[in-house]
């Protein structure tokens, strides 16, 4: 066992569980904390609750219930000397971050925090969250002050389907709320993260993660806008993109928008912060990109309806298949799925809409309140990932 250090990983989701597995594989004893009792039971029995994640099966089978012990009780982690928190931060209906889940977790950690312990946040958060909110929550609950414990931030940079390889190969940054915290966190993380970089502060590390998402969102919005313009001009966007892209230019692929827990959320952290400061003009591109990407479903709805009108049937009887409703191919999640939003928009217009996704059974589709169809039986197929409409 590596120096007999016991590490708690709080949040055993699609980012947290792979991290716990890699930490355990590096020789550490891990206490995994999660609110899902069934998930904890599966892990302790060596069963991987995220079977679609490559390499995770063998690690959970090897360490589950042994070097990784999962629990719903924070008190089971009181002997740990390091706490890594990787749980969701959602935005509310006004696009403001909702810190309730994070605050609850950190206050529970504060109740078992000891002198000399290290706490690291990995959830993507607005810049300043770790040094202000997290520090306050921990100090209020523990009665300790920063310096009695260490506090740092290291944004997760995994991608579902590639989590283990990302942790072992992809560059990762870490920054402390103070210099000593940064050093302590870097010293620990470097034992299980090979490609690690210490940056000047937790706030900078928070900003790094957010601007990666902003870059993607803005460039996808640009691709979507150029795609619409190309179609209006009667030129092939994809051929143009092939020859436009080179060392100094990378036009992204167009889409029905941007889905998932990350890219549609992160820009709002900066947009809302600038609004609070009265600096509305500082985030104009970010705000516009969010609007452009979310509105792409209206563009595609119009295209699909025009295609339906070519079928020799009453419009309401044309069978439309939206092929692919997850937010990303190969990932069985629907959070902010623009393809699902497109299907629902067409349904609201009174059209005869069906869906198909290789990740879901017919029964699962129907439980979502949707109609399933074999694409071959549809009149019009919208292939959401290849962005083609095929009339059959």
What is the spatial distance between Cα 252 and Cα 259, in angstroms, rounded to a whole number? 15
Which of 184, 209, 319, 323 is an active site residue? Answer: 209
The residue annotated as part of the active site, out of 262, 319, 323, 344, is 262
Comparing CA positions, the residue from 154, 337, 344, 322 lying closest to residue 261 is 337
> Catalytic site residue 262?
yes
CB 106 within 8 A of CB 85: yes
Edge-first strand order for the sheet with 380-383 is 352-356, 319-323, 380-383, 388-391
Is 95 one of the catalytic residues?
Answer: no
CB 19 within 8 A of CB 62: no
Task: Provide the annotated active-site residues.
Answer: 209, 262
């Amino acid at each position: 066992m590596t120096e007999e250090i016991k590490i708690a990983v709080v949040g055993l989701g699609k980012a947290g569980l792979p991290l716990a597995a890699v930490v355990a594989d590096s020789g550490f004893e891990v206490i995994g904390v999660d609110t899902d009792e069934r998930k904890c039971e599966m892990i302790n029995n060596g069963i991987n609750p995220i079977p679609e994640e490559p390499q995770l099966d063998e690690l959970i089978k090897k360490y589950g219930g042994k070097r990784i012990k999962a629990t719903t009780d924070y008190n089971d982690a009181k002997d740990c000397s390091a706490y890594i928190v990787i749980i969701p931060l959602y935005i509310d209906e006004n696009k403001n971050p909702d810190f309730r889940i994070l605050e609850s977790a950190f206050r529970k950690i504060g109740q078992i925090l000891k002198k000399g312990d290290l706490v690291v946040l990995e959830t993507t958060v607005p810049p300043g969250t770790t040094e202000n909110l997290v520090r306050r929550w921990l100090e209020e609950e523990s009665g300790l002050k920063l310096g009695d414990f260490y506090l740092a931030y290291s944004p997760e940079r995994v991608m579902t389907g590639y989590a283990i390889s990302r942790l072992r190969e992809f560059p990762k940054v870490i920054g402390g709320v103070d210099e000593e915290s940064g050093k302590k966190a870097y010293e620990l993380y470097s034992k299980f993260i090979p490609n690690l970089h210490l940056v000047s502060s937790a706030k900078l590390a928070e900003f790094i993660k957010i601007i990666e998402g902003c870059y993607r969102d803005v460039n996808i919005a640009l691709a979507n806008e150029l795609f619409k313009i190309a179609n209006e001009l009667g030129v092939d966007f994809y051929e143009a993109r092939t020859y436009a892209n080179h060392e100094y230019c990378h036009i992204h692929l167009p889409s029905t928008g941007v889905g998932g827990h990350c890219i549609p959320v992160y820009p709002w952290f900066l947009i809302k912060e600038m609004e609070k400061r009265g600096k509305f003009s500082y985030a104009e591109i970010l705000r516009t990109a969010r609007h452009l990407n979310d509105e792409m479903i209206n563009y595609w709805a119009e295209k699909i309806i025009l295609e339906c009108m070519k079928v020799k049937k009453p419009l309401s009887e044309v069978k439309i298949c939206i092929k692919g409703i997850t937010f990303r191919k190969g990932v069985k999640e629907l959070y902010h799925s623009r393809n699902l939003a497109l299907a629902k928009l067409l349904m609201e217009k009174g059209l005869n809409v069906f869906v198909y996704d290789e990740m879901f059974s017919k029964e699962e589709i129907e439980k979502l309140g949707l109609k399933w169809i074999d694409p071959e039986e549809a009149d019009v197929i919208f292939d959401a990932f290849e962005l083609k409409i095929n009339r059959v």
